[in-house]
Amino acid sequence: MARKCPNCFADVPASKLLAYSNDLECPSCKRPLEVSGLSRNISALAGLIVAGIVWRIVSAHFFGQPGLLGWALPVLFSYLAYSLVAPLVLVLTGDLHLKPEASFAPPVETPEPHHH
């Protein structure tokens, strides 16, 4: 039941989940939604694991290269791997919850006390 609104069970497009993950709104009932912390953590962990594997493979291939190739390419490729894997896993495991009322309510202004 990934990417479904818990209120009306409408499908939330993957593009909206990735682009508006902090300000997500159901396309059907317009209720504010949020991605669960577990889904975010799973996607981050999967991205870190893949980035570590890519770093290990690329650094073994370019080990001992003079100049920037020896250290910059493993960092670059692991960053790119994380940047691709984490959103893909988030799309696949994106569990949505209704956003608590307190988090989208407008802030209440308190009047300043008068000093005599």
In a domain, 75, yes or no: yes
The tens digit of pLDDT for each residue in 56-90 reads: 998 888 776 666 677 788 899 999 999 999 999 99
Structural domain includes residue 39? yes
Question: What is the total count of domains within the chain?
Answer: 1
Report H helices in the chain.
14-19, 37-61, 72-93, 101-104
Residue 47 domain flag: yes
Taking the whole predicted model, whether its pTM rises above 0.85 is answered as no
Query: What is the dihedral angle through the alpha carbons of 64, 47, 45, 13, rounded to the nearest 10 degrees?
Result: 170
The domain of 28 spans: 14-101
The Cα 20–Cα 37 span in angstroms is 15
In a domain, 37, yes or no: yes
54 within a domain of the structure (yes/no): yes
Task: State residue 52's pLDDT score.
Answer: 95
